[in-house]
């Protein structure tokens, strides 16, 4: 199993939004790129922890964390993993980067089920 270096503390959601805005403003990196980086990191960690996983279920909300989940699902589909998303929020209500990530997942033929 992977050696996880877990953080000793966590950021609150408003702090993360502020940090992301600063990164985008000062680095020129688009917020969708930050989302794709987060989703890629999560996908790689999942592959490291469960290298033989053939099936994946991703739970997605309506905010940017949900968008990260859609990116994970799209990447899994690209690698031939049987993946589906359980959406806690109707995807028709998604906006911004979360909507873009949802469309990316659909483009990769990810099955999305609204619960």
Query: pLDDT by residue (tens digit) across 43-76?
Result: 999 999 999 999 999 999 998 889 999 999 999 9
Compute CA distances 114 → 5, 31, 105, whole Å.
34, 25, 14
CA pair distance 24, 3, nearest whole angstrom:
30
CA distance 29 to 51: 31
CATH superfamily assigned to domain 13-114? YjeF N-terminal domain (3.40.50.10260)
pLDDT in tens, 6-50: 777 788 888 888 888 888 888 888 889 999 999 999 999 999 999
């Amino acid at each position: 199993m992977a050696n996880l270096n877990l953080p000793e503390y966590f950021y609150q959601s408003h702090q993360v939004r502020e940090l992301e805005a600063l990164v985008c403003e000062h680095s020129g990196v688009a917020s969708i790129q930050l989302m794709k980086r987060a989703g890629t990191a999560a996908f790689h960690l999942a592959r490291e922890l469960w290298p033989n996983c053939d099936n994946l279920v991703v739970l997605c909300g309506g905010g940017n964390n949900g968008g990260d989940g859609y990116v994970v699902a799209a990447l899994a589909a690209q690698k031939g993993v049987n993946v589906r998303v359980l959406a806690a929020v109707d995807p028709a209500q998604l906006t911004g980067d979360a909507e873009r990530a949802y469309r990316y997942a659909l483009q990769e033929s990810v099955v999305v089920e609204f619960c």
